[in-house]
Structure 1
């Protein structure tokens, strides 16, 4: 026959020991280093825990300076000459000028103790308010690279070609595709153009699509190609919340969406109501977005960044 140990008593002992140990740790953290953390809490939440002790330190300093000043003035009294007469008594009585002299002398301000100055100099910045000039913001980045996106579009049936150097210069790389149905200059000609641009390292910059979709069979075929391309781009970039714009794009309505430093814009050209543009890219405008983008700019890193997994 076994007797179960008293659990309630053991739990009570455990909690009492935990509270005592926690109190000791908290008191050590607050009182260490000249009560620096406790003074930081007092300054942060205006508890005024050290106000009374500061006043007690200042009061004796003020009382000791006053007797010294009075003693120094009464020890060496000087007669005041009121005129050119040489028959003045040797020890004239004290005049009203001497009585007012102590009151006219500027009082020496009491100096704070050196310990208080040292405590303020060592105050922790843990509880300081956030600095607006250092604030950041959440921003997006491309979840794919230029070569990977071009290869994925080729697999989906859009022959954009390989990621290659642009005619704009060695600092720009791109892949693109263009098709036109109908002769040049014909009013009912349909066309589709897509270009994807970025850096030689493969980082994407922007994607642009321009389509002309007249109300005929060629225009409807270009429209289907355009919608399929937009869906493929939003799927590969992983910016799936922009898919809410597909309804407006399918109805050929202007739409603009911005989120976390990225932008999608679909709009009709002013000169031709059957010509449309779609732009997808990064757009950092606020100071918070710009600061965060600078921190995560791979060109500023001293070590090479890892290759993103497919």
Structure 2
């Protein structure tokens, strides 16, 4: 007999392998996730379809939004018409009627006179006072018999900053034409002095000077005068000055101070072309 023929060692039939329970659990979870993803995707469209198939309305209170409508056509832009004074640049010629100020420096005034043929000196400190700046022109002719010699004296005075205080002209025995009107070369001095500050409201002054008539005008702090000396009929004095001591002028200067507003624009008006240099008075 063979050894170890005991029943305990008899061969047992081979059984089927068992699948662990963990596998089934993982499979169930995976399938649930897949099905949940499918049912909840696309705004739960599939879940709602299954519910309606079985006769159930899963979301009875769901609000259905109306389909989007086309946006209204935009309105055309409104047109606005602005008054011309709101968009046009300021006009230097009319500024003097509202704010009286020197619109040219002393050095520029002297240069304008030189361009017109009046050979003034350079703008520099005066010999009698270092705080006063000036430029001047002087010409004297020879005495003829009992008459005083014809002469011209021009002076522009101001301060170191270039602000003008006053402008003066003195003419003695000026040359005139057959109508008694002032020689154009001398009249050009007064034209430059009246044009450059842009104080064009003194419109009668130049015509009076041309005809050697006395005139005195005051306007908003500025003063202009041209007069014949009482004791010396052949002598004439001209003065153009700015006096800011009046109440309206002080209030206007304070209101339109550069600390509050932008500086006033420089004059843009073109003056008439300068003629040839003025010849010296006849001897």
TM-score between the two structures when normalised by the length of structure 1 = 0.48
- For 1:202 and 1:242, the matched residues in 2 are separated by 23
Question: Cα distance, 1:273 vs. partner?
Answer: 0.8
CA RMSD of aligned residues (A): 3.4
Q: Paired residue for 2:212, among 249, 252, 265?
A: 252
Contact 1:180-1:190 at 8 Å conserved across structures:
yes
> How far apart are 1:184 and its partner, in Å?
9.9
Aligned to 2:185, what secondary structure does the other structure show? helix
Displacement after TM superposition at 1:294 (Å): 4.9
Correspondence for 1:292? 252
Shift of 1:202: 0.7
Question: For residues 114 and 174 of structure 2, what CA distance do their matches in structure 1 show?
Answer: 26
The CA deviation string for residues 23-70 of structure 1, in whole angstroms up to 9 with x for no partner, is xxxxxxxxxxxxxxxxxxxxxxxxxxxxxxxxxxxxxxxxxxxxxxxx
1:177 and 1:289 map into 2 onto residues whose CA distance is 31
Aligned partner of 1:180 in structure 2 is 140
By how many angstroms is 1:205 displaced? 1.0
Structure number, greater radius of gyration: 2
Contact 1:213 1:274 in 2 (8 A): yes
1:195 aligns with 2:155: yes
CA–CA distance in structure 2, aligned partners of residues 167 and 297 of structure 1: 33
1:283 alignment counterpart: 243
Could you say what secondary structure the match of 1:149 adopts? helix
Partner residue, 1:267? 227
Kept in 1: contact 2:103–2:267 (CA 8 A): no
Q: Confirm whether residue 226 of structure 1 aligns to residue 186 of structure 2.
A: yes
The total of aligned residue pairs comes to 170
1:94 maps to what in 2? none
The offset of 1:149, in angstroms, is 1.1
Note the C-alpha offset of 1:246.
Answer: 1.7
Q: Does residue 157 of the first structure (1) align with residue 117 of the second (2)? A: yes
Gaps of 5+ in 2: 1-96, 269-283
3-state SS in 2 of match to 1:271: coil
**In structure 2, C-alpha distance between the alignment counterparts of 1:200 and 1:148, rounded to whole Å:** 13
Taking CA–CA contacts closer than 8 Å with sequence separation of 6 or more, which of the two structures ends up with the larger relative contact order? 2
Deviation at 1:290, TM superposition (A): 2.7
Whether contact under 8 Å (2:104, 2:197) holds in the other structure is: yes
Contact 2:175 2:182 in 1 (8 A): no
Select which of 102, 110, 113 maps to 1:142.
Answer: 102
What is the SS of the residue equivalent to 1:140? Answer: coil
TM-score, normalised to structure 2, is: 0.52
Distance 1:283 1:185 in 2: 42
